[in-house]
Amino acid sequence: MLFAIESSGAKPIGKVPHGDFYNPRRERLSDEQFSAMYEALMSKVDPAASEVYTSSWIPGSDWSGGPFQPIFDTACGASFDGSAKFFGILLWKVMMDRPEAWGFGRYEKDGIPIEGTTYFRLRELDGSGS
């Protein structure tokens, strides 16, 4: 479950953003390719290991031979920027589909903006306590 944190409280998110970008590229992937990358991300997000994940720090810099390579080769036509955007939206979908509650935002590290979205666990919303 993914929530937007607003001044009035937490608002559930039920839609993948940038559908005009994401949907046609998703259609270029086979169901097998998509399932492999979706499951790879689902398994990387382990709230027992970490309660904070940043999209640009997850996939690594070399996608060769891995489940994310079809994003670059097939979905995004060898576009680095397009591939990064698609990956980010895919992770958004994974976070929406997770059973735990997660928030998100854009942050800095050492005064430098972090590329990508950072997700953080919202224990108070998923009933797991503090």
- Return the percent helix, strand and coil in the chain, to nearest 5: 40, 20, 40
What's the pLDDT score for residue 128? Answer: 55
Cα separation, 5 vs 102, in Å, equals 10
Give 63: exposed, middle or buried? Use CB within 10 Å, 0-12, 13-18, 19+: middle
What's the pLDDT score for residue 127? Answer: 67
What's the pLDDT score for residue 62? Answer: 87
Query: What does each of the 130 residues of the chain score in pLDDT, given as a tens digit?
Result: 999 988 788 899 999 999 999 999 999 999 999 999 999 999 999 999 999 999 999 988 889 999 999 999 999 999 999 999 999 999 999 999 999 999 999 998 899 998 899 999 998 887 655 4
Domain boundaries, the chain: 2-126
Cα separation, 99 vs 86, in Å, equals 22
Cβ atoms of 25 and 31 closer than 8 Å = no
